[in-house]
């Protein structure tokens, strides 16, 4: 039998290897690293006054890499121009009705873009169902070919925060449209954030930093750290998690529980790894971005967990949704309602799927119960023998918070892997056969699926090292740069070797890139 390989097939394989097989320029692809290296070199070769303008051009080149993104470029331009013009008028006008009118215009425009590109089909299906029950034709129809622009939620939220901050007099008006456009489209943050604020980034654009070897070396290790978390840990965990969530009705309780707990780690390694890459890249380019995680699994309360997880998004909803609703400065029922509303909006932000909405609702309900029961629980602590030792109390509290987080993540993982969350919850109650039997069910599925037997050891050791290194939200890159030459380069080579030998290549899409 003769095997014929056409030049087109060879080119397709090479393209997938270099680009990561994504329509967008994936952060874990070799092409992205080449693009970033060229952008960094040109940036420092230019005069400091010209650097923001070059980064604007580089950001638009990055955005336009995928053919679908090129067609949606007017969305990015429209959000940028709308909020800049509205911010200009809001900042210069002394008449409150004018200021309010243009703030409403900016909010309506940005929210309208989000609603159309992310929720139009969901809304059209709901309307169609209602009209179908009445025996009438729906006035609107879904758009099956509707494509969401790259980084839509991130650049829209960044642009919207600028208009609101100008209205609140917390941010000066930006007269330079190109500087503002660079803030909205800054390519390291385009894929998965963090969601930047203009008052934080503007001074850094005005005073571009000189080249610093120490700064760039720290940024490079931060990127390497992020690639290790993403490609070595998160992508390998995804193999088992996706296997279990693909057919939850046929899986045993131990496997469903293990997959849910491992999904929490996968989500953290994936998302925080992406943020490490973004922060490291921005640091090399001369910019310090907002830290997005601070050791969330060390939280001892559910509210503290959300103060440590996806900090830029949590802070955005706190400042622009929770506080305007009244926050905690109102009566108890309204305060509790505000909490639930914020989590519902957060769930809806993640996608047009009822499972994301249920994830947000479950987080809101748990937060309300935690607030209402805080005083009685503190009173009962003195009767709990496990809580008499501070170390034991902290450990137990962290375990409870982790279990609650995993409980809510069933909805999140089900939306991501298109599973029935209630089948997952029901399946967790069956098939438990003691500690030894349950452990054998989990390991049996791992080996039967063809997963390399060395991977579980690598994943356990790698996860333990990451969590220990990031204890108390420590800056790993800064710590590494303070070590001696031998230890520093040993860590560099160890991280590089881990990626080469255990990295899951070809799975370059980040989970939060979907949102």
Residues 383-427: tens digit of each pLDDT: 878 777 888 889 999 999 999 999 999 999 999 999 999 999 999
Handedness of CA 226, 231, 233, 237 (dihedral sign): positive
Residue 202 contacts residue 183 (beta carbons within 8 Å): yes
Q: What angle do CA 36, 110, 196 make, to 5 degrees?
A: 40
Task: Identify whether residues 181 and 289 lie together within a single domain.
Answer: no
Of 23-27, 109-113, 311-315, the one with minimum mean pLDDT is 23-27
The reply to whether 2 falls in a domain is no
Task: Identify whether residues 316 and 277 lie together within a single domain.
Answer: no
pLDDT at 497 over 80: yes
Task: Identify whether residues 34 and 113 lie together within a single domain.
Answer: yes
Task: Identify whether residues 357 and 496 lie together within a single domain.
Answer: no
Q: Where do runs of H (alpha helix) occur along 64-95? A: 67-71, 73-92
Task: Identify whether residues 53 and 151 lie together within a single domain.
Answer: yes
The residue among 495 and 89 whose pLDDT is bigger is: 89
Handedness of CA 397, 403, 409, 413 (dihedral sign): positive
Residue 166 contacts residue 91 (beta carbons within 8 Å): yes
Task: Identify whether residues 50 and 198 lie together within a single domain.
Answer: yes
- Nearest of 436, 442, 467 to residue 456 by alpha carbon: 442
The reply to whether 330 falls in a domain is yes
Residue-wise pLDDT for 434-487, tens only, equals: 777 777 877 778 777 666 666 777 788 888 888 888 888 888 888 887 888 888
Residue-wise pLDDT for 156-197, tens only, equals: 999 999 999 999 999 889 999 999 999 999 999 988 889 999
- Kindly state the helix (H) or strand (E) to which residue 455 belongs, with its residue range: helix 455-469
The reply to whether 511 falls in a domain is no
Mean of the per-residue pLDDT values of the chain:
85
Task: Estimate to the nearest angstrom the gap between the alpha carbon of 16 and the chain centroid.
Answer: 24
Last residue of some domain: 147, 179, 208? 208
pLDDT at position 130 is 67
Query: Which of the given ranges, 88-102, 204-218, 452-466, has the highest pLDDT on average?
Result: 88-102
Task: Identify whether residues 364 and 394 lie together within a single domain.
Answer: yes
DSSP class of residue 496? Answer: H
Range 249-254 contact pairs with CB under 8 angstroms and sequence separation of 24 or more: 249/420, 249/423, 249/427, 251/427, 251/445, 252/427, 252/430, 252/431, 252/432, 252/438, 252/441, 253/427, 253/428, 253/429, 253/430, 253/431, 253/432, 253/438, 254/431, 254/432, 254/438, 254/439, 254/441, 254/442
The reply to whether 59 falls in a domain is yes
Q: Please give the structure tokens belonging to residue 422.
A: 């209630």
For range 306-331, the mean pLDDT: 92
Domain that holds residue 390: 302-420
Q: Please give the structure tokens belonging to residue 186.
A: 């800054």
pLDDT at position 440 is 81
Task: Identify whether residues 310 and 282 lie together within a single domain.
Answer: no
Task: Identify whether residues 234 and 369 lie together within a single domain.
Answer: no
pLDDT at position 272 is 92
The reply to whether 12 falls in a domain is no
Task: Identify whether residues 280 and 257 lie together within a single domain.
Answer: yes
The reply to whether 119 falls in a domain is yes
Q: Give the total number of structural domains in the chain.
A: 3
pLDDT at position 21 is 46
Task: Identify whether residues 388 and 438 lie together within a single domain.
Answer: no
The reply to whether 19 falls in a domain is no
Task: Identify whether residues 251 and 363 lie together within a single domain.
Answer: no
Q: How far apart are CA 476 and CA 155, in angstroms?
A: 28
> In sequence order, which residues have a C-beta less than 8 Å from that of residue 385 and are 6 or more positions away?
none
Last residue of some domain: 180, 208, 236? 208
Last residue of some domain: 359, 394, 420? 420
């Amino acid at each position: 039998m003769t095997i014929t390989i056409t030049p087109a097939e060879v080119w397709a394989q090479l393209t997938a290897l270099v680009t990561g097989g994504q329509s967008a320029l994936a952060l874990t692809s070799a092409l992205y690293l080449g693009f970033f290296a060229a952008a960094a070199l040109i940036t420092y070769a230019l005069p400091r006054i010209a650097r923001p303008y070059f980064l604007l051009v580089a950001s638009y080149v990055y955005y336009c890499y995928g053919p679908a993104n090129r067609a949606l470029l007017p969305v990015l331009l429209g959000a940028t121009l709308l909020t800049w013009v509205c911010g200009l008028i809001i900042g210069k006008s002394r008449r409150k009705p004018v200021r309010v009118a243009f703030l409403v215009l900016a909010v309506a425009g940005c929210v309208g873009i989000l609603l159309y590109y992310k929720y139009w089909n969901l809304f059209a299906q709901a309307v169609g169902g209602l009209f179908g029950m009445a025996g009438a034709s729906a006035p609107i129809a879904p758009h099956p070919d509707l494509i969401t622009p790259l980084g839509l939620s991130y650049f829209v939220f960044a642009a919207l925060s600028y208009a609101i901050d100008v209205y609140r007099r917390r941010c000066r008006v930006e007269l330079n449209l190109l500087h503002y456009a660079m803030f909205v489209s800054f390519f390291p943050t385009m894929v998965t954030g963090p969601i930047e604020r203009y008052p934080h980034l503007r001074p850094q654009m005005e005073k571009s930093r000189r080249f610093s070897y120490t700064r760039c070396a720290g940024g490079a290790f931060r990127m390497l750290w992020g690639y290790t978390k993403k490609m070595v840990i998160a992508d390998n965990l995804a193999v088992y998690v996706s296997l279990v969530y693909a057919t939850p009705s046929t899986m045993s309780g131990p496997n469903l529980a293990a997959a849910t707990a491992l999904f929490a780690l996968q989500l953290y390694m994936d998302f925080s790894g992406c943020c490490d890459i973004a922060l490291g890249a921005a640091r090399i380019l001369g910019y310090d971005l907002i830290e997005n995680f601070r050791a969330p699994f060390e939280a001892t309360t559910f509210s503290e967990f959300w103060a440590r997880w996806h900090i830029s998004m949590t802070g955005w909803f706190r400042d622009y949704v929770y506080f305007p609703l009244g926050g905690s400065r109102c009566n108890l029922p309204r305060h509790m309602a505000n909490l639930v509303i914020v989590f519902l909006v957060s769930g809806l932000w993640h996608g047009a799927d009822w499972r994301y909405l249920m994830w947000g609702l479950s987080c809101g309900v748990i937060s309300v119960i935690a607030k209402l029961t805080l005083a009685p629980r503190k009173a009962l602590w003195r009767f709990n023998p496990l809580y008499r030792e501070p170390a034991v109390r902290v450990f137990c509290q962290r375990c409870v918070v982790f279990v609650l987080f995993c409980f809510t993540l069933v909805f999140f993982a089900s939306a991501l892997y298109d599973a029935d969350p209630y089948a997952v919850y029901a399946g967790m109650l069956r098939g438990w056969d003691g500690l030894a039997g349950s452990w054998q069910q989990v390991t049996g599925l791992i080996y039967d699926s063809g997963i390399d037997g060395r991977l579980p050891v690598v994943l356990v050791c790698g996860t333990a090292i990451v969590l220990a290194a990031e204890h108390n939200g420590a800056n790993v890159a800064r710590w590494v740069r303070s070590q001696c030459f031998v230890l520093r380069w040993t860590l560099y080579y160890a991280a590089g070797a881990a990626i080469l030998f255990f990295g899951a290549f070809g799975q370059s899409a980040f989970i939060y890139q979907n949102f």
